Amino acid sequence: MILVIVGSLIFLLGALQIRFPTLAEALKETDLETWKRLGAPSGYSFVDLGGTISLYSWILSKRFRSSSSRMVIDEGEKALSRALLAKYEMLAGLSIMILGFVVVLVQVIA
């Protein structure tokens, strides 16, 4: 059961890394159309009801590189490393949770 708890904590840490306020502000200032299309994200995790998740997907797909604003491209590059870290932390946490559930299931059956 400890694996499930550790996995949950790692997953939660990854989810809390999904915040990109400086990129959201740069988009709002320089590329208002893209900012609105992404759902007008504030950039803070779980505050804007999914807007930050769409920004997170936009970052992971590297669409910021096609922006005409140099500021958005620079902030997007910084945000990409944080987004990748969050992605891998959540995947690792989920994997550890699944492993923990399998261990518990095997112990119950055996």
- Report which residue type is found at 24: A
Give this prediction's pTM: 0.87
Question: What pLDDT is recorded for position 51?
Answer: 81
Q: Is 96 left (phi over 0), alpha (psi -120 to 50) or beta?
A: alpha
> Average pLDDT in the 73-82 region?
95
Question: What pLDDT is recorded for position 49?
Answer: 66
- In tens, the pLDDT along 6-63 reads 999 999 999 989 989 999 999 999 999 999 998 888 877 666 767 888 999 999 999 9
Q: Which residue has the higher pLDDT, 40 or 89?
A: 89
* 47 CB neighbour count, 10 Å cutoff: 12
Q: Which residues of 14-32 are buried (b: 16+ CB within 10 A; e: fewer)?
A: beebbbbbebbbbbbebbe
Question: What pLDDT is recorded for position 5?
Answer: 95
